[in-house]
Chains A and B, each alone.
Chain A
């Protein structure tokens, strides 16, 4: 499943997670992955 996404960069850190900006390769859509 994660194969569908390419991580672009880290955009934020929460108390217990890191948020990455990523792109969904199939849909060519920018998302945030926590």
Chain B
């Protein structure tokens, strides 16, 4: 029984598993393996070098501007992934640069799926989350009927950020 309870407790993550198994796309992170040992769930993903946030921070610290063709490529990749998700009835809800992985050759993958609704009020991940928002106005205003357009709002914010 104990084990069952533990599995149930992991259900938000299982939702992540479920969506990732359905969503196969070149710009969506590949889930390679799911391991459950003694109620402990581990998800094995393909490895990506960096998330978009670290990547552009480094670029900007070097005093470089991000090339427009690169921005276009990154945004196009994310939007293709989103289009695929939305078409299959999922939306991300937590789109931000940390959840967009990038590796050499500018391969872009969307990751971190299936965050449960109540996780919107995030744990004290400090000033970062509280100062930078990718959340659409309807979520900020605590609407309960928001939907996939919130992802589009977020990608708009991210695109603007890359241009800065």
**CB within 8 Å of B: which residues of A?**
1-2, 5, 12, 14-17, 21-22, 24, 30-34
Contacts and interface: CB of A to CB of B under 8 A. Distances in A.
Given A1-B35, A2-B35, A2-B37, A15 B115 contact: yes
B47 A30 contact: yes
A28 to B, nearest CB: 13
A17 to B, nearest CB: 8
Closest 5 interchain pairs by CB?
A: A30-B47, A34-B43, A32-B45, A1-B35, A32-B47
The main secondary structure of chain A at its interface with chain B is strand
Given A1-B35, A1-B37, A2-B35, A34 B45 contact: yes
A14 B43 CA distance: 13
B122 interface: yes
Contacts of A21: 47
Contacts of B33: 1
Interface string B33-60: 1010100001111111001000000000
A16 B115 CA distance: 10
A30 B30 CA distance: 13
Contacts of B44: 5, 22, 24, 31-34
Contact of B122 (A5, A12, A15, A32): A15
Most buried by A among B37, B47, B115, B123: B47
